[in-house]
Amino acid sequence: MTELLVQSSLAESRGNQLAIEVSKIRQKCAADHGDKPVVECPECYEKVLEATRSRYRRSSTAHQEWFTTRRVFLQELDAMFADAKEYQLDPSKIDARVREERSRWYAENVRASLLRLMVEDPAGREAVFEKLEEPPSDLAGLPKDITDILSKGLHPAVGVADVPDRLAAAKDSDSRVRLLKEAFFGNGDDEANLPEDHQKYFEMLKHGLSMEQVVDRILEDRQASIGAREQTEKLKRRLKELNAARAAHELQKSRKARNKASFADQRVPEELYNIPPCAVCREVPNPQEFLCCQICAVLVGRGVQDQQHVYCTPECEGKGHSTHADTHTCASGDDCIELQYEDDTMENDGMPSNSGDKTNFCVECLSSFKLPTQWCSLACAGKDFQHHREAVHLPWRKKLGLDGEVADRLSYDSVAEGDSTTESTARRYHAKDIAAETISLQMLVTEWEEKNGVHLET
């Protein structure tokens, strides 16, 4: 606990020193280079960055500060300062990152060591346990937490604000012991009149135990008397889980950073990091070797749907893919050409031949509306174009406030003079170039593979 108090005091002191140093740089910049933002003055901007960087890389103090042992964080700061120096990063993001890391330090150390002293009963400890679930967004509550705790344990003659600074200034262990006795045990230099329960713990302090160890012993004795040991063990296990989760998170960040540096042009898409269970057996697939539905993969890449449809083995794919494929239906519905004609090749009414055509998607639906509109063939898309445009495109454009298409993309069917036609027949039209209105599945797959540098195995 005393070390945490020293760290808090040092953090405040060093922060004030940095603020003063930066203020002097700003004032000198204004005097020497004119009244303009420091960021617009390369020389002074670099001085400000270097002063801030030195705060975290060359801390010359006898006591460790809160960030001293957090090597991954310090390495990340180095990279951020380098980017800020090249004007590739807003310096405010460095401040935000420091606040975030201090919040984590707070959750891992300060609250775990101090807030547990605020409660005497299991129900109160459960409230503290819930506070540890999420680190605070800033450290504004830290001084109040410490003050509330110390105000219950300090001798009335000692000011709570004096303790951290006096501990930081103590030159040897004897000086620290005297200060801790004065602060927490009272009675000046008279050890004989210490209460019996105090004497036991003060003797531990005199024989070299740290204040943290003494506090732990006090807590153990208190737990034994009120039967709270089980609750404390639960808290310790949860803290261990939180620390393990944080370590795993840091490891994942480190791996991603290495992968980004080594495979800058072959970045695996984010959706492949979180592979859903196999659609058939529900087992988690091997991330290095699994099969997936091509259509679902490209739709996830286009932001049309959230999750892929995967299989862990060819056997599972054989069992489940046929049923899944039936969910990707042709947008023509009952008017689908494949339902009306058994022959895959047709030439009629100026429609393109179905020979060689495969699944095609509506470009406007994918790009503007995030809808998975598909047709079984280019011919089917051309035949269904007018109905699809009026049933889907026009309502969605109106809903989203989008402009219509260019007029010359439509071709109205001619009506022979003298023919008796209804108004709807007279307004029949089709796309001048249905291929320009659609994109094939194969092209989407190629686009996905080129973008991500990964072969889409199906």
Q: Are residues 386 and 289 in the same domain?
A: no
User: Is residue 255 one of the residues assigned to a domain?
Assistant: no
Q: Tell me, yes or no, whether 90 and 112 share the same domain.
A: yes
374 pLDDT more than 90: yes
Is 68 a domain residue? yes
Same domain, residue pair 182 and 62: yes
Asked if residue 422 belongs to a domain, the reply is yes
The rounded Cα 397 to chain-centroid distance in angstroms is 34
pLDDT at residue 350 in the model: 39
Name, of 129-133, 167-171, 453-457, the range with top average pLDDT.
453-457
Q: Is residue 260 part of a domain?
A: no
**Full residue range of the structural domain in which residue 302 is found:** 270-325
Q: Is pLDDT at 173 greater than 80 in this prediction?
A: no
Output the pLDDT for position 264: 47
If asked whether residues 297 and 176 sit together in one domain, one would say: no
Whether 204 and 285 map to the same domain: the answer is no
* Residue range 124-152: mean pLDDT, rounded: 50
| Within a domain: 257 | no
pLDDT value, residue 140: 47
pLDDT tens column, 244-289: 888 888 888 877 776 665 544 444 455 566 789 999 999 988 877 8
Among 281, 306, 325, the domain-final residue is 325
Q: What is the pLDDT of residue 395?
A: 92
Q: What pLDDT digit, counting tens, does each position of 289-314 carry?
A: 889 899 999 999 899 998 889 999 99
pLDDT at 113: 61
With CA atoms as reference, report the closest residue to 376 among 325, 410, 324: 325
* Together in a domain, 375 and 439: yes
Whole-number pLDDT of residue 392: 93
Q: Both 72 and 152 in a single domain? A: yes
Q: Is residue 251 part of a domain?
A: no
pLDDT tens-digit readout, 314-348 = 999 999 998 999 899 999 999 998 887 654 444 44
Q: Are residues 69 and 98 located together in one domain of the fold?
A: yes
281 closest CA partner among 294, 295, 291:
291
Q: What is the pLDDT of residue 66?
A: 81
Answer yes or no: is 103 within a domain.
Answer: yes
CA distance 296 to 332: 20
Same domain, 193 and 283: no
pLDDT score at 94: 93
> In terms of domains, do 300 and 414 share one?
no
254 domain-assigned: no
pLDDT, greater one: 160 or 391: 391
Where among 167, 191, 226 does a domain terminate? 226
Instruction: State the total domains in the chain.
Output: 3
If asked whether residues 7 and 153 sit together in one domain, one would say yes
Determine the Cα–Cα distance for residues 427 and 355; give it in Å rounded to an integer.
29
What is residue 253's predicted lDDT score, i.e. its pLDDT?
Answer: 80
CB 348 within 8 A of CB 408: no
Domain shared by 341 and 292, yes or no: no
Residue where a domain stops, chosen among 325, 351, 368: 325
